[in-house]
Amino acid sequence: MSMLAEPTGVPAGYEAYGDDKHARVGFFTDTSVCIGCKACEVACKEWNLIPEDGLVWTGESYDNTSTLGANSWRHVAFIEQEKPLRVGADGELGIDRDGDGDALRWLMSSDVCKHCTHAACLDVCPTGSLFRTEYGTVVVQQDICNGCGYCVPACPFGVLDKRHIPSSPPESLNLVEGLGGKMDGRVWKCTLCYDRLKGGHEPACAKACPTKSIQFGPLDELRERADARLAKLDAEGWNGAQLYGRDPDDGVGGFGAFFLLLDEPEVYGLPPDPVVTTRDLPGLWASTAIAAASVAVGVAAAFFGGRK
């Protein structure tokens, strides 16, 4: 736990693979070119055999999944704003820089598990179901997940969730058979297509993205690419362009899946300053130990003092 108090930027457990360790890979999602086609959502579901969801009308523009969850490993958000895409030539936000059209824009972003450098879900999992792969990603092993759910509140992004459908319904998809139709109850999330990585292929969502909004590759290369893209958008006067999760010195040691956003993270439903939720555990345990020792001393003193 001492590592959590001072993030190193290196994923815990990643170095243990030795010669079998690969370059750390991840996603860079450039929301400035996302067209909201949801090809990533469809490809993710088809490849990973994820049960259907998102069949309700949420009232959130064309967003029918609303949030990430056990049955939505990719979530395309739609945000309609009365803001111009670019700032004016004088730096004001009232008009489009080219002077035509209304000050309206439609932000779209494909969200996913962040595969954090310091992942609280790994820290709290009692069975070892969650583990760090040789690619630096975070994966759940459903065959040893006991459904305790400790990882669900531990995630600062609300990514993890239990699957609340029967484990063996008729014509089931990717669900364990022979459990008598009991509720699944296990945690499911993006694996960054671990099986595809081991076969030398890119994740299904990145493969399907027609605009290359979702880019896959070695994390160091993606960060360089993201920096260059941000510089280009800044030079062109784009309104609110910023990188989210690119910094290895942030509260989770940097994301394995980071983003270029066109507004503040809160607009996209993302925490502005995420912190690994187990960061303060060493201090909490130390305080608990001191308190317990004080109680023990007090009880002993009262007991032996009473005997006199």
Q: What percent of the chain has pLDDT over 70?
A: 78
Residue 299 has pLDDT above 80, yes or no: no
Burial classification of residue 31, based on how many CB atoms lie within 10 Å of its CB (0-12 exposed, 13-18 middle, 19 or more buried)? buried
Pairing verdict, β 257-261 and 25-30 = parallel
Least confident of 218-232, 244-258, 271-285: 271-285
The CA distance from 245 to 247, in Å, is 6
Identify which of 111, 253, 243, 134 has the alpha carbon closest to the alpha carbon of residue 189. 111
CATH of 16-277, one of 3.30.70.360, 3.40.718.10, 3.30.70.20, 2.40.160.40: 3.30.70.20
Residue count of the chain: 308
**Collapsing DSSP states into helix, strand and coil, what is residue 226?**
helix
The pLDDT, as a whole number, for residue 14 is: 87
Sign of the alpha-carbon dihedral angle for 198, 202, 26, 187: negative
The CA distance from 125 to 15, in Å, is 20
Contact 28, 226 (CB under 8 A): yes
Contact 182, 167 (CB under 8 A): yes
Domain ranges across the chain: 16-277, 278-308
**DSSP classification of residue 285:** H
Residue 226 has pLDDT above 70, yes or no: yes
pLDDT tens by residue, 251-270: 999 999 999 999 999 999 99
Take residue 181 and report the two structure tokens written for it: 């139709």
pLDDT bin (cut points 50, 70, 90) of residue 97 is very low
The pLDDT, as a whole number, for residue 13 is: 81
Mean pLDDT of 182-205: 95
**DSSP classification of residue 23:** P
Q: What percent of the chain has pLDDT over 90?
A: 62
The CA distance from 163 to 144, in Å, is 15
